[in-house]
């Protein structure tokens, strides 16, 4: 699902990863993390896809809510397991979403009016 985020500004955590071979409990933990993240204060949405690499983008109200989720004990356990077992490499990028706009077939939706799409 494309996340139905509110008007910017808000934060995105872009997590890009390459997996090791085998499941080793990864899928179950990934689903648990999505469920837990979505219960956190400040969580706005999450999008995920995996082919050669996996990309998960989670959206948050502010840096404080990202930090609280980072320090969540079950998330910390999962992150350690990620480094020991599941990932051959990953990169995490923390980014301030300044504007967004969208398209839905038969309608155009956006949180910004057209003048703001000029990026100027």
Q: Which of residues 15-74 bind a second copy (CB under 8 A)?
A: 16-18, 20, 47-55, 57, 63, 66-67, 70
How big is the site for a second copy, counted in residues (CB under 8 A)? Answer: 49
Sheet of 54-60, strands arranged across: 10-19, 54-60, 43-50
When asked if residue 103 is in the footprint of a second copy (CB under 8 A), the reply is yes
Of 21, 22, 35, 105, the one binding a second copy (CB under 8 A) is 105
From the list 27, 57, 26, 29, the residue with the least C-alpha distance to 43 is: 57
User: Is 106 exposed, middle or buried, given 0-12, 13-18 or 19+ CB atoms closer than 10 A?
Assistant: exposed
Q: Minimum distance between the CB of residue 2 and a second copy, rounded to whole angstroms? A: 5
Is the CB of residue 115 less than 8 Å from the CB of residue 26?
Answer: no
119 binds a second copy (CB under 8 A): yes
Strand (E) or helix (H) holding 35: helix 26-38
The contact set with a second copy (CB under 8 A) reads: 1-3, 5, 8, 12, 14, 16-18, 20, 47-55, 57, 63, 66-67, 70, 82-83, 87-105, 118-120
């Amino acid at each position: 699902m494309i996340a139905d985020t509110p008007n910017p500004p808000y934060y995105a955590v872009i997590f890009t990863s390459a997996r090791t071979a085998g499941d080793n409990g990864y899928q179950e933990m990934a689903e648990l993390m999505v469920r837990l993240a979505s219960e956190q204060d400040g969580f706005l949405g999450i999008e995920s896809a995996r082919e050669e690499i996996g990309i998960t983008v989670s959206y948050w109200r502010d840096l404080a809510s990202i930090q609280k989720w980072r320090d969540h004990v079950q998330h910390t356990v999962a992150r350690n397991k990620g480094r020991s077992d599941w990932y051959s490499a990953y990169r995490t990028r923390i980014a301030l979403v300044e504007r967004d706009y969208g398209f839905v077939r038969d309608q155009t939706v956006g949180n910004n009016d057209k003048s703001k799409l000029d990026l100027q």
